[in-house]
Structure 1
Amino acid sequence: MNPLFTPSLHTQRHDFVVDFVRRTNPKKVADLGCGECSLLQKLRFHRQIELLVGVDINGEKLRKKMHRLAPISTDYLQPPANQLCVQLYQGSVTQKDARFRGFDLITSIELIEHLALNDLEQFSKVVFGYMAPQTVIISTPNSEFNPLFPGLLGFRHNDHKFEWTRVEFQSWSLKVCLVFGYMAEFTGVGKAPPGQEDSIGFCTQIGVFHRLMMTNRDGHMFGNNAEVEFPYKLLYCVTYPSLCDNNILRKVLVSELLYWAEKLTKQWLENLAVEHEEQIPVERDDRGGCEFGEIFWTNPQELQCQPLHRHVSVPLHLLWNCCPKLSELSGSLGNMRQLIVDDPQVKMNGQHSAVIICILEQELEDDDPNDLRDSGYAEACHVEPEHWETDD
């Protein structure tokens, strides 16, 4: 039946949920009857979500598809600030599990029509009365649309126990709202042919339920005196890389810091090659180096480097001011220093106030041994070129 719609009806249902998540930014989301985990696969990219959970009664199906929810390479290359945990459970939506309380959003996409009526009543008690999330999204077939499917006899799927009209679905929904303290709005996906929108409605009808109060009208108090039950079986759990992990935060911070330190060094070297009258004046610094835009040459002996290397010392405060991402990652200059000081990739001066970038003599000369001397830099600093060639 999906070929009648572009994009497919299956895709439109999931896109509805994804769009809702994008607009409301829930932190804890659960998908009941998650099946092949295709909705979860889309939701995992919305990294404002911190806990993403799926449950399905078919454990074999979950085991086949669960590894699709594993982090991919870009999750490690560009970890977000928030940590995401993805969990999959085998279990029945008619059972109460305390781990599913307190969610911001619970979805049930094309599930309720697979439940017997007595199970549907228990589903209502579990989802709206026990789990009591802030929002519930439920989709189910609209039987009024069925005559438009050529050759369809009976229900759309042989496992469906019922398929409701719009009035039947809304009647059930409003009863749920009255009992458990929710309000509902109705919409759908899969548009009817032009001119039949009002008479037939959407192919898939959707109810969006919003909880009105902390106390449900059936007398249950959310979060208090609740049964502690854990009948669902955890099949899969993965925590995505994020900046909440100090090791990952340090890697990202160091990578960004070295990129900017090398970029500033390159800019400084390019400035040395301009015509003398366009150069920024260079003055001797009291640390024994030469200052140029707050970047310093340092003595290679102090750094215990090879004598044929030259070194540029880039102050941390300069990096902090030049790269907003460094301040975003670390929060303060002190935190940044603490995070990088013991990293083997970062070489720092004795006061831990600057990053040392090591430049090969050959790279600096750029095939012309007189380039630096011709720039006037050595003369301005009153440093004999031989000084850099000694290891005394």
Structure 2
Amino acid sequence: MVPLFSPPLHRQRHQFVIDFIKRNKPKKVVDLGCNECTLLRRLKFHREIELLVGVDINSAAITKNMYELAPISTDYLMPSYDQLSIELYQGSVTQEDARLRGFDLVTSIELIEHLHLADVERFSQVLFGYMAPVSVIVSTPNSEFNPLLPGLTGFRHRDHKFEWTRAEFQSWALQVCLEHGYEVQFTGVGPAPPGQRERVGFCSQIGVFHRLGGRDAARLLPGDNAHEIFSYTLLYSIAYPSLRDNNILQRVLVSEVLYWAEQLKRGWLEEKTGEGEEASALCQTQGGGEERLSFLEEKQTGGEALKGPMEQRGRGTSECEEGEREEAFGTDCGGQQESYRQGRCVCVPLAKLWSCCPRVQALSGSVSHLSRFLLDDPLVRLTQDGSAVLVDDQEQDQEEEEEYDDLEDTGCTEASQCSLSAVQQEDWEADL
């Protein structure tokens, strides 16, 4: 059978929501009647959303699919600055729950027709009166389109309690706006064949509601001092790893510092020994960091490059303090201090790490901030003045082991042991 719609109608409804989110960038979104979490699984990739919530009366449908909303391994290996928390609740959309008040967007996709008409009024009061979101998207079947659906008799789904005409849907929507202070635009997805659109409209009709006064009005919710109601059961909750978490930021930054310190050490050793002509180009090629930094370079704030996390928190040092720290390092942020040897270690200056490695720059914000991050971390060894990372020179250790092996091969070690044994024997005899 040839599909009536391409892409399928449910995907068109979900794409309508996604396009709305791309334009309006809501931070808190709840999907009423989330069922198998299909829409939520697509919305989790839109990181302008910070809190994503699903509600459904069918707990089995949620628990069967909720783990598909969990972070994947790359979310932990390469966390971004974006924040995302996901919560799933079991409950009825005709019941109030204080945790769902004041959201930026509420979606109700093909839900209202599953309610008894007696419950629709209660649903309207809970959604527009109690939850009072900034925006609402409601979609429902358009019964005028049904004659164009081949083989359909009655309602489109056995659980539907009603299916509205366009006039009935618009009458309900306009009454909601009048009672609760919203305005609405009507549209839909699944267009009728050419020449019949005016007569039957869209297969799924959609109302997009906006609260009068927008976010400012939503902050003044009625009954804020009333007793909070928690009627829903929390089934699932997960917070995605984010670089705004100081512990995660510390872990990722230390990992990057250790990786690039080792690369810079190897490049410096090759350059000193003349074994690698390409080593001197390590900083010029950003240490290969462009690919590792791709997700950070794509993030922009107001057209400017992403600031370091310390600046984002407002914890940055003053320009005077910054200058004093960097003067102590003997370089400014753009400087290229030379690595040097100290005992069995190679010292890689923080200033060189910062200027050569774009991701270290983006994560730390400045050389002084980098120093503060690393100062007390047990995985990183710094020089006494805190200006460089100490990296073990494994090649020197290997050379010493080879020299020791050579001594064993020449019999020097054995001879020394024989000599020592003879001396000890003489001493024992003298004591006797």
TM-score bracket for the superposition, by shorter chain length: 0.7 to 0.9
Helix, strand or coil at the partner of 2:3: helix
Matched residue type, 1:295: E
Matched residue type, 1:101: R
Residues 279 and 35 of structure 1: CA distance in aligned 2, closer, same or farther (over 3 Å): closer
| Post-superposition offset of 1:216 | 12
| Map 1:315-330 → 2, pairs under 5 A | 315-330=349-364
Q: Is the 8 A contact 1:183 1:211 kept in 2?
A: yes
Match for residue 195 of structure 1? Answer: 195
Match for residue 295 of structure 1? Answer: 338
| Map 1:212-227 → 2, pairs under 5 A | 212-213=212-213, 221-222=221-222, 224-227=224-227
Match for residue 301 of structure 2? Answer: none
Cα distance between partner residues in 2 of 1:19 and 1:343: 44
| Post-superposition offset of 1:270 | 4.9
Match for residue 185 of structure 1? Answer: 185
Match for residue 28 of structure 2? Answer: 28
Match for residue 420 of structure 2? Answer: none
Match for residue 338 of structure 1? Answer: 372
Match for residue 92 of structure 2? Answer: 92
| Post-superposition offset of 1:341 | 2.7
| Post-superposition offset of 1:233 | 1.0
Match for residue 244 of structure 1? Answer: 244
Match for residue 411 of structure 2? Answer: none
The RMSD of aligned alpha carbons is 3.2
Residues 322 and 30 of structure 1: CA distance in aligned 2, closer, same or farther (over 3 Å): same
| Post-superposition offset of 1:214 | 7.0
Cα distance between partner residues in 2 of 1:362 and 1:333: 29
Q: Is the 8 A contact 2:268 2:279 kept in 1?
A: no
Helix, strand or coil at the partner of 2:53: strand
Helix, strand or coil at the partner of 1:295: coil
| Map 1:1-392 → 2, pairs under 5 A | 3-213=3-213, 221-222=221-222, 224-272=224-272, 293-300=336-343, 311-361=345-395
Residues 5 and 269 of structure 1: CA distance in aligned 2, closer, same or farther (over 3 Å): farther
Per the normalisation by structure 1, the TM-score is 0.79
Residues 177 and 5 of structure 1: CA distance in aligned 2, closer, same or farther (over 3 Å): same
CA deviations over 1:122-173 (Å, ceiling 9, x no partner): 1111010110011111111111211111110111011111111222212211
| Post-superposition offset of 1:267 | 4.1
Cα distance between partner residues in 2 of 1:167 and 1:269: 78
Cα distance between partner residues in 1 of 2:166 and 2:137: 16
| Post-superposition offset of 1:313 | 1.8
Helix, strand or coil at the partner of 2:29: strand
Helix, strand or coil at the partner of 1:156: coil
Helix, strand or coil at the partner of 1:185: strand
Matched residue type, 2:160: H
CA deviations over 1:217-242 (Å, ceiling 9, x no partner): 9xx94463344211111111112211
Q: Which has the higher helix share?
A: 2
Matched residue type, 2:163: E
Helix, strand or coil at the partner of 1:343: coil
CA deviations over 1:12-39 (Å, ceiling 9, x no partner): 1112112222222211111111101111
Q: Is the 8 A contact 1:261 1:357 kept in 2?
A: yes
Per the normalisation by structure 2, the TM-score is 0.72
Cα distance between partner residues in 1 of 2:223 and 2:240: 28
Q: Is the 8 A contact 1:98 1:227 kept in 2?
A: no
Cα distance between partner residues in 2 of 1:178 and 1:279: 71
Helix, strand or coil at the partner of 2:234: strand
Match for residue 283 of structure 2? Answer: none
Q: Is the 8 A contact 2:347 2:389 kept in 1?
A: yes
Q: Is the 8 A contact 1:179 1:216 kept in 2?
A: no
CA deviations over 1:82-111 (Å, ceiling 9, x no partner): 332211111111111111111111111100
Cα distance between partner residues in 2 of 1:134 and 1:171: 21
Residues 346 and 203 of structure 1: CA distance in aligned 2, closer, same or farther (over 3 Å): same
Helix, strand or coil at the partner of 1:152: coil
Mean alpha-carbon deviation: is it higher for 260-269 or for 89-98?
260-269
Cα distance between partner residues in 1 of 2:174 and 2:397: 75
Cα distance between partner residues in 2 of 1:216 and 1:242: 28
Residues 162 and 78 of structure 1: CA distance in aligned 2, closer, same or farther (over 3 Å): same
Gaps of 5+ in 2: 281-328, 400-432
Match for residue 305 of structure 1? Answer: none
